Amino acid sequence: MVNHYLDIAPEVKDALNEGHPVVALESTIISHGMPYPQNAETALRVEQQVRTAGAIPATIAILGGRLKAGLSPREIDYLGGQGVKVAKVSRRDLPVLLTSGGDGATTVASTMIIARLAGIPVFATGGIGGVHRGAAQTMDISADLQELARTNMAVICAGAKSILDLELTLEYLETHGVPVLGYQTEEFPAFYSRDSGLPVDYRMDDPAAIAKVMNAKWELGLDGGLLVANPIPEAEAIPKADMEDAISRALAEADTKAIKGKALTPFLLAKIEALTGGRSLQANIQLILNNAALAAAIAVAYANLLPKGNPLSARYGQEAG
């Protein structure tokens, strides 16, 4: 049964009914992650990339108090143009947005929730939220991690930015039973750089192998997500040392200005963007395109595993009860 708060775009609905692969995409990366108009342009290129790789894109957001799975180019441009004027919406914020009738950009956590309601099991993003540096004092741990613990979905990312404590982020995921799969790598990537010095749980060399792990996990009744870490292409990567200065300056300024809560991640991202100029924006665009292509390949492989004549959405929906 489709949730009555949710609007699924006709093209996405048809694809799901036919068992055709679909890839969910988030919208905080559009409104809070990049400047206009590059944000909207990138979001449209990402959708195109998903299509080229054989799947249907479903960009997720909240518009006028409705959950949306699949946006029009106009709606994407609107979210990009509004930028940080649009509310950043995570799990906590969802019910309020629905009753106030506002617009919202969805984080990894809330995108997972909405994709799940729509019956989409694969989602591409840039970087996930995680355990912040200093979390032992601040207790700042992104709701993205809790969502990965409970919501059945493969989330394809380029790792996480080292504004976070990557070691604690991986510990948290282990505790909550979230497999971290490195795509053609043994190392957990650090967003702009391919290396973090930390290992992934398992290396996977092809999308079909990842699809089999998804299927086995959910057939076993092990609810929750899988994190697929896809390193930024070599040619676009920025060495860790080059980023470290910008990251420590951003962290120091956040500390001085006492920036906390949901404002912290966007503040750090914008600061680093400003300090490293066009270089980090360019890297950001390339890695999300790269993730979209891999997510589409995984969605295709997962759809191929499902029995013929059994629509993907129905089966996936049933499994999560």
Q: How far apart are CA 312 and CA 307, in angstroms?
A: 9
Among residues 13, 161, 217, 262, which one is catalytic?
161
CA angle 36, 117, 300 (to 5 degrees): 75
Q: How far apart are CA 300 and CA 53, in angstroms?
A: 9
Q: Is 161 a catalytic residue?
A: yes
Among 143, 200, 214, 229, the residue binding ligand PSU under the rule CB under 6 A is 143
Q: How far is the CB of 214 from Mn ion (least distance, A)?
A: 27
Q: Closer CB to Mn ion, residue 107 or residue 185?
A: 107
Strand partners, 8: 69
Report helix, strand or coil for 23: strand
Q: How far is the CB of 205 from ligand PSU (least distance, A)?
A: 25
Size of the residue set binding ligand PSU (CB under 6 A): 18
Strand partners, 25: 59, 124
Q: How far apart are CA 244 and CA 295, in angstroms?
A: 29
Among 28, 31, 39, 162, the residue binding ligand PSU under the rule CB under 6 A is 28
127 near ligand PSU, judged by CB under 6 A: yes
Q: Is 26 a catalytic residue?
A: yes
Q: How far is the CB of 194 from ligand PSU (least distance, A)?
A: 15
Among 26, 75, 93, 140, the residue binding Mn ion under the rule CB under 5 A is 140
Tokens representing residue 213 in the block: 């792990």
Tokens representing residue 296 in the block: 């589409």
Please name which of 71, 45, 84, 121 lies closest in space to residue 265, comparing C-alpha atoms. Answer: 84
90 near ligand PSU, judged by CB under 6 A: yes
- What does the binding site for ligand PSU look like in residue numbers (CB under 6 A)? 26, 28-29, 33, 90, 107-108, 126-127, 129, 142-144, 161, 191, 262, 265, 269
